Structure 1
Amino acid sequence: MKLHYTLIFSIVMQLGFAQSASLYFDKIRTNEAALTAFFSQMPKGGDLHHHYSGSIYAEPVLNYAITENFYLNTETMVVAREKPTKGNWVLFSDLKNENQLDRYKQQIMQKWSVKDYNHVDYPSDKLFFESFEKFMPAADEMFKSGLLELKNRAIKENLSYIETQLSTIPAPINLENWTKFNVQLREMAAKKDEKAILALLDKLYIALQEKNVSGYAKDFNTNFVAKLHTDLKIDDERFTMRYQNFVLRFMEPTELFKNLVVAFISADTSPLMAGVNIVSPEDGETSMKDYWLHMLMFKYCHSRFPNVKYTLHAGELTLGLVQPEELTWHINSAVYDAGANRIGHGVDMAYEAKSYELLQYMAKNKIVIEINLVSNEFILKVKENRHPISLYKEFGVPIVISTDDAGILRTNMTEQYVLLAKRYTDISYSDIKEFVYNSINYSFIKDASVKKELLRNLDARFKTFEKNFEKK
C-alpha cells in the first residue's frame, strides 16, 4: 500500500512539474530568446524528415575539400576530386598560394548553403536544390565524420533519434534494352491504366530478380551501412540512428523502378534500414510527368514487401510554383494510391481536392505529417498562417517536427520549435510534447525494444526538464 501511495504521489508531482512548464511556456512564447533557451534544453525525441547530405554543415565539407586538395570550379563553386576537361578548375592549394582562398571560401559558403542569402539575387528554391551537386563530390567521401557530426550535434541539442535518408544504393544493372518499357509505362499512365502498369511492373520485377538485385541490396546493407554504423558506434545510451533508402524522381521510369526494388529489398532485410523514400524537386519536369506512375511503383513494391514502411515527399508545392490544378492531387495520390505511412512536407494540403476527407482519412489511419517550417519558408516562401500545420492539427493528423536539411538551411531542431511556438498560438506545450513523443512512436524503428527504450528515456528526460519550472 505504501508503494501504491508513493507512485500516486510521484505521478501527481510530475503532473505539477508539467503544468509549471506549460505555464512558463505560455509566459515566454512571444520572446524568441527565452523560447530558444527553453527549447534548447527540452528533450526533442527524433528527427524523422532528415537528409544526410543536406544536414552536414558546409564548413567541415569545405575543410575536407581543402585538406584533400580538391579542384574548385571558380565559376560555379563545384568541387571535384579529379580535374574535369571543361571549365575553370583550380586546385585549392593553388588558391592558397595565390592568397585567393579566403575570397573563394566566402563564395563557396554562399553557394553550398543559405549563408548570407539576401532573398533577391537568385530564386531560393534553385539555390537550395542546386547546392547539393556542388559539394557532393567531397561529402560522399566523408560519411564517417559526417555521421559523427550529426550524432554529436543531436546529443548536444537533446535529440535522441535521427532517421536519416542516407544514400542511394549503387546497382549498376544495364537497362539499355528496356527503353521501350519507359515509353509503354508513360503511355499507360497517360491513360490511367493502373492494371496494365502493375502487370508490366510485375514482369520487370521478375526480370530484375534474374539480374541479382538482391545482391546489390545485401552488399549495401552489410558493407556500407552496417559497417559504418558498427565501426562508429552510432547507437549508445544517449542516441540512436536508423536509415532510409531513397530513389530520385528525375530518373527514367525503369531505372527508378529498378532502384526502388533494390531499396525495398534493402529495407526488408536489414534492421538498420528503416524504410524507403523518394526525393528531388517535386515540381521538376519528370517529377510532375511521372508522379502518378511513381505512386503506383510504391504500391507495387508494397505488395511484394508488405512489411516495409515508407514516407513520401508529397505536396512540397505552392501556388505559383506549378499550375493551380497540379496542387490538387499529389498528397491524395501519395496517401490513397501509394499507401504512404508518412507524408513529408504536405504544404499544399489546403489546395488538395476534398482536403477535409483526406485529412480525416489521414487522422483515422494515423498517417503522419512531417512538418519542416524553416525549409518550407525558405524554399516555398510558405510560413505563418499560409502554412497548413494548424489545419493538420485541427483534424487530428499526427504531427512530427523535423529539420529537413539543417546544414544547407543553417538551422537546427531548436529553431523549428521556436518558430512553432511563436507563430501558432493554437499549439500548446502539451501539443508540442505530443509531437515529440510522436517522433518516436511513429518512427520506422523495427525493434520494439529499441523504441520502448527511447520512450522510457524520453520520459526520464522530460521529468528532469520539467523540474526546472517547479518554482517559476
Structure 2
Amino acid sequence: MRRILWIILLLAAIGLLARVVVVMRNSPEIATAAYFERAREDHSRMRALLRRMPKGGDLHTHLSGAVYAERFVAWAIRDGLCLRRSDMTLVAPPAGTSQDQPCGADPSAIPVSEAVSGRNGQTNYDLLINALSMRWFLPSREVPSGHDQFFGTFAKFNAATGGDHWDQTAQSMAEMTVDQLRQYDAEAVQYVEFMATFFEGDQRQRMAQAIPEVAEPTVMMEALERQGLAELVTARAEQLSAMVKRIESLRDCGSDKRKAGCGVTFRFIAQINRNSAPAEVFAQTALAAALVRKAPHIVVGINYVGPEDYRISLRDYRTHMSWIRYLARDDVPVALHAGELWMGLVPPPDLEFHIRDAVETAGARRIGHGTAVVFERDMDSLLAEMRRRGVTIEIALTSSDVILGVRGKEHPISIYLASGVPVVLATDDAGVSRIDLGNEYYRAARDHGLGYRQLKAIARNAIAHSFLAGDEKQKELDRLDSSFAAFEQTVSSEQPAFARLRALGRALFSTGA
C-alpha cells in the first residue's frame, strides 16, 4: 500500500514538474494574455496593446477603398483634377479646356485646388472628405443608408485612382499600394492581398462583344480565345511586372526592411464586377483566371465584387457560381463575397443559399463577410462542410456595421468560431470606413469577448489561409511566430514582477495554459 502511495506521489510530482516546464516555456504568452485580460475594461490600453500586436495579414481589402480620402484629395490637387460640386465627385478636366474654364463649361466644376483653398477652403475640404468616406455620415433623403453612402463613394474618387486608362491606373495603383504598405507596417501587419481591377472597361466590353450570345461556357470560352484572350493576358502580366517594379522603386527598401512599408509582403486578387451584363461577367472572370495562371507570383486569386444585393447579382448569382467553377477549376484560388446581406435588404429567399453555393458550387476557399449565414438553409450542415473543407471566413466587423447595420451580438462571428470554421479579421475598405486592422481586433475583443489567444490564432489564420504558395506561406508563418515571440517578451518584461508571478501561478493550477 505504501509503495502504491509513493508511486502516486511520484507520478503527481512528475506531472507537476511537467506542468511547470510547460508554463515556464510559455511564460511570455501567459503574461501577455493576463495583461490583455486586465486591460479589457480599459479600452484605451486595449487599443494600444492591439495596435502593437502582430496581426498576420489582411486578406480582404479593396485597394482603392483602403486609401483614406485625404490622400485622394492630395493626389487630385497634384494631378489637376476637378471637383464637381453638384455631387462632390472628383473628375478629370474635359478635353479642350481653356485657362478661363480649366474644368470646362459645367459651372459646378472647379479645380480641387481652388475648392479647398481660400475663405471656404476648410469647409469644402471637410465636405469632400465626408463625401468620399463614411466620416460623420447621417442618413438623408438623397442618401438614406450607410449601404448607399458606402458603395457610392467609389465612383466619387475613381478619377483619383487613374480612371479608365491603364497607364494612369497602373501609376495610381503603385502609389496606392505603397501608401497602404506603409500603413500596414505601422500597425504590425506583415502580409496583405489587395483586390484590384486589372482590365479596363473597354477591354472587358470588347471581349464580351466577342460572345455572340450567352451559351454553354465552353462555347463562350472558345469565342474569347479566338478574340485574343491569351495575348491580352500575356500583355497585362508583363505590365503588372513593370508595375511591381515601380512599387519596389517607390518603397526603396534595398536590404533595409526597417524602412516604412518594407516589412510587408503583398499580393493581388483580381476582382470582377458581378453587376455587369452576363457576357461581360464571363469575360472578366475568364481574363482574371487566366491572369492568375500567367502571373501567380503577383495575382494569387479571384473574387467577385460589387453589392451582392443589386438586381443583376441576385438574378445571376447561381449562374455566376457555375461559371467560376468552370473557369477557375482547381488551380485558381477563389475568394468570394457571399452572404453580405441581411434581413430586410433582400427578400428572404435570397438569404438562403449564397454562402452554400459559393462553397459547394464555385469552390470558394474563402468567404468574405458571410453575415447572412444565420439565414442559410441548414446552417449547421453548411458550417460543418466549411470546417471540413477548411473554408475560411473573412470577417469585417466595421463594414458589416456601416453597410448592413449588423453589429455586436447580432454578428455571427461567434457562430463561426464555435463551429470550428477558420476565421480571419479584415478591413474590407479601411479608407472608406475610416479604420485600420487593429480596430477590427479591438471590436472583436470588446464586442465579442475574444481573448488574446483567440486573436493570436486569428492572426495566424491570416497567413495559414492566404493564397501564398507553400514555401512562401511557411516563411511568413515563421516570421509571424518570431514577431509574436518578440512582442510577448516585450509585453511580459513591461509588467511588474508580482503581476507576472501571479499570472504564472494561475496558469500553473488552471486547465487553460
Report whether the alignment pairs 1:31 with 2:45.
Answer: no
Residue of structure 1 in register with 2:219 after alignment: 203
Residue of structure 2 in register with 1:289 after alignment: 315
Tell me: CA distance 1:88–1:26, structure 2 relative to 1, closer, same or farther (3 Å): same
Identify the match of residue 138 of structure 1 among 126, 151, 160.
Answer: 160
Matches within 5 A, 1:47-58: 47-58=58-69
The offset of 1:88, in angstroms, is 2.6
The offset of 1:143, in angstroms, is 2.1
Matches within 5 A, 1:115-134: 115-118=135-138, 122-134=144-156
Tell me: CA distance 1:9–1:159, structure 2 relative to 1, closer, same or farther (3 Å): farther
Tell me: CA distance 1:404–1:100, structure 2 relative to 1, closer, same or farther (3 Å): same
- The residue identity in structure 2 corresponding to 1:229 is V
CA contact (8 A) 2:53 2:487 kept: yes
Q: How far apart, CA to CA, are the structure 1 residues paired with 2:247 and 2:206? A: 34
The offset of 1:423, in angstroms, is 1.2
Residue of structure 2 in register with 1:373 after alignment: 397
- The residue identity in structure 2 corresponding to 1:41 is R
SS at structure 1 position matched to 2:334: strand
CA contact (8 A) 1:267 1:273 kept: yes
Report whether the alignment pairs 1:348 with 2:372.
Answer: yes
Residue of structure 1 in register with 2:196 after alignment: 166
Residue of structure 2 in register with 1:405 after alignment: 429
Tell me: CA distance 1:148–1:178, structure 2 relative to 1, closer, same or farther (3 Å): closer
CA contact (8 A) 2:73 2:112 kept: no
Q: How far apart, CA to CA, are the structure 2 residues paired with 1:360 and 1:135? A: 41
Residue of structure 2 in register with 1:59 after alignment: 70
Tell me: CA distance 1:469–1:265, structure 2 relative to 1, closer, same or farther (3 Å): same
Deviations 1:290-327 (A, max 9, x none): 11111011011123xx2110100000000111111211
- The residue identity in structure 1 corresponding to 2:401 is E
Report whether the alignment pairs 1:219 with 2:235.
Answer: yes
CA contact (8 A) 2:197 2:271 kept: yes
Q: How far apart, CA to CA, are the structure 2 residues paired with 1:9 and 1:450? A: 35
The offset of 1:181, in angstroms, is 2.1
Matches within 5 A, 1:74-89: 74-83=85-94, 88-89=108-109
Residue of structure 2 in register with 1:395 after alignment: 419
- The residue identity in structure 2 corresponding to 1:298 is I
CA contact (8 A) 1:298 1:338 kept: yes
Deviations 1:57-103 (A, max 9, x none): 00011011122221211111111112377673222354467644333
Matches within 5 A, 1:295-310: 295-303=321-329, 306-310=330-334
CA contact (8 A) 2:334 2:365 kept: yes
Whose radius of gyration is greater, 1 or 2?
A: 2
CA contact (8 A) 1:242 1:274 kept: yes
Q: CA RMSD in A?
A: 2.2
Q: How far apart, CA to CA, are the structure 1 residues paired with 2:124 and 2:58? A: 33
Q: How far apart, CA to CA, are the structure 2 residues paired with 1:37 and 1:96? A: 34
Instruction: State percent identity of aligned pairs.
Output: 27
The offset of 1:239, in angstroms, is 1.4
CA contact (8 A) 1:169 1:216 kept: no
CA contact (8 A) 2:322 2:362 kept: yes
Tell me: CA distance 1:116–1:204, structure 2 relative to 1, closer, same or farther (3 Å): same
CA contact (8 A) 1:169 1:217 kept: no
Q: How far apart, CA to CA, are the structure 2 residues paired with 1:179 and 1:302? A: 19
Matches within 5 A, 1:314-333: 314-333=338-357
Q: Extract unaligned runs of 5+ from structure 2.
A: 1-18, 95-103, 163-167, 500-513
The offset of 1:212, in angstroms, is 1.2
Residue of structure 2 in register with 1:191 after alignment: none
CA contact (8 A) 1:14 1:463 kept: no
Residue of structure 1 in register with 2:466 after alignment: 443
The alignment's TM-score, normalised by the length of structure 1, stands at 0.89
Deviations 1:180-238 (A, max 9, x none): 624xx6xxxxxxxxxxxxxx111110111111112222222221x22222232268562
Q: How far apart, CA to CA, are the structure 1 residues paired with 2:25 and 2:67? A: 37
Residue of structure 2 in register with 1:188 after alignment: none
- The residue identity in structure 2 corresponding to 1:431 is Q
CA contact (8 A) 2:205 2:280 kept: no
Residue of structure 1 in register with 2:409 after alignment: 385
SS at structure 2 position matched to 1:348: helix
CA contact (8 A) 2:400 2:406 kept: yes
- The residue identity in structure 1 corresponding to 2:390 is K
Tell me: CA distance 1:65–1:334, structure 2 relative to 1, closer, same or farther (3 Å): same
Deviates more, 1:251-260 or 1:11-20: 11-20
- The residue identity in structure 2 corresponding to 1:144 is A
Tell me: CA distance 1:86–1:457, structure 2 relative to 1, closer, same or farther (3 Å): same
Q: How far apart, CA to CA, are the structure 1 residues paired with 2:204 and 2:273? A: 15
Tell me: CA distance 1:411–1:452, structure 2 relative to 1, closer, same or farther (3 Å): same
CA contact (8 A) 1:45 1:160 kept: yes
CA contact (8 A) 2:83 2:115 kept: no
Q: How far apart, CA to CA, are the structure 1 residues paired with 2:233 and 2:107? A: 36
Residue of structure 2 in register with 1:432 after alignment: 455
The offset of 1:410, in angstroms, is 0.3
Deviations 1:156-193 (A, max 9, x none): 100000101022323356357667624xx6xxxxxxxx
Q: How far apart, CA to CA, are the structure 2 residues paired with 1:175 and 1:232? A: 29
The offset of 1:469, in angstroms, is 2.1
Tell me: CA distance 1:56–1:172, structure 2 relative to 1, closer, same or farther (3 Å): same
* Aligned length, in residue pairs: 444
CA contact (8 A) 1:368 1:442 kept: yes
CA contact (8 A) 1:173 1:211 kept: no
SS at structure 2 position matched to 1:174: helix
SS at structure 1 position matched to 2:206: coil
Q: Extract unaligned runs of 5+ from structure 1.
A: 1-7, 186-199
Residue of structure 1 in register with 2:287 after alignment: 262
Residue of structure 1 in register with 2:474 after alignment: 452
The offset of 1:42, in angstroms, is 0.4
The alignment's TM-score, normalised by the length of structure 2, stands at 0.82
CA contact (8 A) 1:169 1:245 kept: no
Q: How far apart, CA to CA, are the structure 2 residues paired with 1:247 and 1:88? A: 33
CA contact (8 A) 1:80 1:137 kept: yes
Q: How far apart, CA to CA, are the structure 1 residues paired with 2:57 and 2:270? A: 18
Deviations 1:311-361 (A, max 9, x none): 000000001111112111110111111110100000000010011000000
Q: How far apart, CA to CA, are the structure 2 residues paired with 1:134 and 1:174? A: 25
Tell me: CA distance 1:283–1:301, structure 2 relative to 1, closer, same or farther (3 Å): same
